[in-house]
Amino acid sequence: MSSDKAKILDCGPDGTHVVIRRCPRKPGDLVGAAEAADILGVERTRISRYRRTGVMPDPVSELRATPVWHRRDVENLRNRRKREGR
């Protein structure tokens, strides 16, 4: 695991499956749908389509106004899509 702080978000019913996500170090490490669209170079409405079709990574949290992702996850998606020629 990297030096990022981590937190347990979920544990399976038998207690053996644990999901760990890194916690942001500073406020800019989290992005909403508008920022994610800017990073990906798409219209904000495209983010909803990406979520429905499983292109977007799972958000860290869902606020009333927007889902929230780690900036690094969205940047990794952008880089992967560029490598794939999309």
Q: By C-alpha distance, which of 56, 27, 54, 21 is closest to 42? A: 56
Task: Name the residue type at position 63.
Answer: L
Task: Name the residue type at position 11.
Answer: C
pLDDT above 90 for 5? no
Q: Which residue has the higher pLDDT, 43 or 13?
A: 43
pLDDT score at 3: 43
pLDDT above 70 for 44? yes
Domain annotation for the chain: domains and CATH numbers: 25-83 (1.10.1660)
Rounded mean pLDDT, 28-33 = 90
